[in-house]
């Protein structure tokens, strides 16, 4: 695999996969994308259908209503919030706008942090997690790797490992390293019961990324948020494009922040009930190892050289099931793959297919 392929491969390519297979999107089970297993929140589809006429008007230029809804939901000030066309906009903008000596990225993790820095010509230093530690980030060891002027990316919980850092411990760590700038991506935090850094005292050296795509199952609407001290956030606000969030995404976000707390509770309850049995079934094959994680997705590896992730990916596609081959994550080899829990019948179908192909 080339470095370009390593950097740009993503999960959740369901539209392209359906086109390549000549099938409908609804004919595929997508376990490669880390979305809510329960689909969209109740009432959202009907709301969006009834709001289609609003695409005949320009969106709110500064996302004031959307950012106000976020601020009210999370208990912060509107001036500390910036809405964008998904977190990707912010990930690629920060290395350009933040003055830094180098970027530091924990590996394995989401590849776009690395790609964003490379595109801006920012030197990158890597901190490699160890498989024998289940890819757990030891903050004391990590501290020894940091130096003043670093731009530090941390995904919490981490993708693809699922490891979760305690929010209070992480906040204290960032406060202790005030000469570094931290970007903490909380895209998968709503799949846990851990509180957001947004609930903590705002730090001058911290940017927090919050995603609506994953927990609410709306990646096609592209809706993300950046939270920071208002004075720190101001340069980013001045660089944002007008109308950067489409009208339907604005409508969806305002609705979800006001109506979907019960839905998130249902997601957490479902994961708590479905995940242990699913992991037990994976381990029962005798050839799959599971990395302990706190999210809706599960990082796995084959312990036998008889199998690899590409083989699994190709075999599952024959059954119209998509899995995430993790070979393009820096620090993972061809034995690693990632699964995102789905509806019970889809999980059962995957396990049945797995048993069949490994027999």
**Close Cβ partners of 262 (under 8 Å, ≥ 6 residues apart):** none
Looking at the structure, tell me whether residues 18 and 87 fall in a common domain.
no
Phi, then psi, of 206 in degrees rounded to 5:
-130, 130
Looking at the structure, tell me whether residues 96 and 154 fall in a common domain.
yes
Q: Residue 4: its pLDDT value, please?
A: 37
Contact of 297 with 215, CB cutoff 8 Å? no
Residue 9 pLDDT exceeds 90: no
Looking at the structure, tell me whether residues 20 and 142 fall in a common domain.
no
- Range in 4-13, 170-179, 250-259, 322-331 the model is least confident about: 4-13
Looking at the structure, tell me whether residues 158 and 247 fall in a common domain.
yes
User: Which of 260, 277, 297 is the C-terminal boundary of a domain?
Assistant: 260
Looking at the structure, tell me whether residues 22 and 171 fall in a common domain.
no
* Distance between CA atoms of residues 102 and 302, nearest Å: 35
In sequence order, the β-bridge partners of residue 155 are 185
Phi, then psi, of 79 in degrees rounded to 5:
-70, -15
- The per-residue pLDDT for range 95-104, each reduced to its tens digit, is 999 989 899 9
Looking at the structure, tell me whether residues 300 and 318 fall in a common domain.
yes
Looking at the structure, tell me whether residues 126 and 255 fall in a common domain.
yes
Confidence class for position 12, pLDDT limits 50, 70, 90: confident
Q: Residue 359: its pLDDT value, please?
A: 84
Looking at the structure, tell me whether residues 86 and 152 fall in a common domain.
yes
User: Which of 211, 226, 260 is the C-terminal boundary of a domain?
Assistant: 260
Looking at the structure, tell me whether residues 177 and 135 fall in a common domain.
yes
**pLDDT-above-70 percentage for the chain:** 97
Q: Residue 101: its pLDDT value, please?
A: 86
Residue 3 pLDDT exceeds 50: no
- The per-residue pLDDT for range 201-216, each reduced to its tens digit, is 999 999 999 999 999 9
* Distance between CA atoms of residues 356 and 348, nearest Å: 12
- The per-residue pLDDT for range 292-323, each reduced to its tens digit, is 999 999 999 999 899 999 999 999 999 999 99
Looking at the structure, tell me whether residues 219 and 289 fall in a common domain.
no
Contact of 151 with 172, CB cutoff 8 Å? no
Looking at the structure, tell me whether residues 109 and 142 fall in a common domain.
yes
User: Which of 241, 260, 279 is the C-terminal boundary of a domain?
Assistant: 260
Confidence class for position 11, pLDDT limits 50, 70, 90: confident
Contact of 117 with 104, CB cutoff 8 Å? no
Looking at the structure, tell me whether residues 252 and 275 fall in a common domain.
no
- What CATH number is given to the structural domain containing 200? 3.40.640.10
* Distance between CA atoms of residues 127 and 141, nearest Å: 10
Number of folded domains that form the chain = 2
Confidence class for position 239, pLDDT limits 50, 70, 90: confident
- The per-residue pLDDT for range 315-335, each reduced to its tens digit, is 999 999 999 999 999 999 999
Helices (H), the chain: 3-8, 14-21, 44-50, 64-74, 87-97, 112-119, 139-143, 167-176, 230-239, 247-259, 261-283, 309-318, 344-358
Tokens of 172: 């204290």
Residue 217 pLDDT exceeds 90: yes
The region that residue 217 occupies, defined by phi over 0 for left and psi between -120 and 50 for alpha, beta otherwise, is left
- What CATH number is given to the structural domain containing 335? 3.90.1150.10
* Distance between CA atoms of residues 66 and 251, nearest Å: 8
Which domain range does residue 277 map to? Answer: 3-40+262-358
**Residues 336, 338, 341, CA angle at the centre, nearest 5°?**
155
Cα dihedral across residues 111, 155, 334, 24: positive or negative:
negative
Confidence class for position 5, pLDDT limits 50, 70, 90: very low
Tokens of 298: 């599960």
Q: Residue 143: its pLDDT value, please?
A: 97
Cα dihedral across residues 354, 159, 33, 3: positive or negative:
negative
Mean pLDDT of all residues in the chain? 94
Cα dihedral across residues 7, 13, 18, 21: positive or negative:
positive
> Strand 224-227 vs strand 288-290: parallel, antiparallel, or unpaired?
unpaired
* Distance between CA atoms of residues 23 and 169, nearest Å: 47
Cα dihedral across residues 113, 248, 65, 258: positive or negative:
negative
């Amino acid at each position: 695999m080339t470095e370009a392929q390593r950097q740009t491969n993503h999960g959740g390519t369901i539209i392209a996969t359906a086109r390549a297979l000549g099938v409908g999107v609804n004919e595929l089970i997508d376990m490669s994308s880390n979305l809510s297993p329960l689909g969209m929140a109740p009432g959202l589809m009907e709301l969006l259908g009834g709001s289609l006429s609003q695409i005949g008007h320009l969106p709110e230029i500064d996302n004031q209503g959307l950012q106000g809804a976020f601020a009210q939901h999370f208990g912060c000030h509107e001036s500390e919030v910036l809405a964008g066309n998904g977190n990707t906009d912010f990930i690629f903008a920060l290395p350009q706008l933040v003055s830094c000596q180098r970027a530091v990225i924990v590996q394995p993790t989401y590849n776009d942090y690395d790609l964003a820095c490379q595109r801006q010509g920012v030197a990158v230093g890597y901190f490699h997690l160890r498989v024998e530690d289940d890819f757990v980030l030891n903050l004391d060891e990590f501290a020894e790797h940091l130096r003043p002027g670093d731009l530090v990316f941390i995904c919490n919980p981490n993708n693809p490992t699922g490891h979760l850092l305690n929010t209070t411990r992480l906040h204290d760590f960032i406060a202790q390293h005030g000469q570094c700038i931290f970007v903490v991506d909380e895209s998968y935090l709503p799949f846990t019961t851990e509180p957001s850094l947004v609930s903590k005292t705002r730090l001058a050296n911290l940017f927090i990324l919050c995603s609506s795509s994953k927990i609410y199952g709306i990646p096609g609407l592209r809706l993300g948020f950046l939270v920071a001290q208002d004075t720190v956030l101001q340069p980013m606000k001045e660089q944002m494009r007008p109308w950067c969030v489409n009208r339907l995404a604005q409508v969806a976000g305002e609705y979800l922040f006001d109506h979907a707390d019960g839905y998130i509770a249902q997601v957490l309850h479902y994961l708590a009930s479905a995940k242990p049995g699913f992991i037990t079934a994976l381990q029962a094959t005798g050839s799959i190892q599971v990395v302990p994680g706190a999210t809706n997705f599960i990082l796995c590896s084959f312990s036998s050289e008889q199998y690899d992730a590409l083989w699994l990916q190709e075999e599952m596609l024959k059954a119209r099931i998509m899995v995430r081959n993790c070979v393009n994550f820096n620090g993972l080899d061809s034995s690693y793959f990632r699964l995102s829990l789905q509806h019970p019948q889809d999980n059962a179908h995957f396990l049945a297919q797995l048993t069949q192909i490994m027999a």
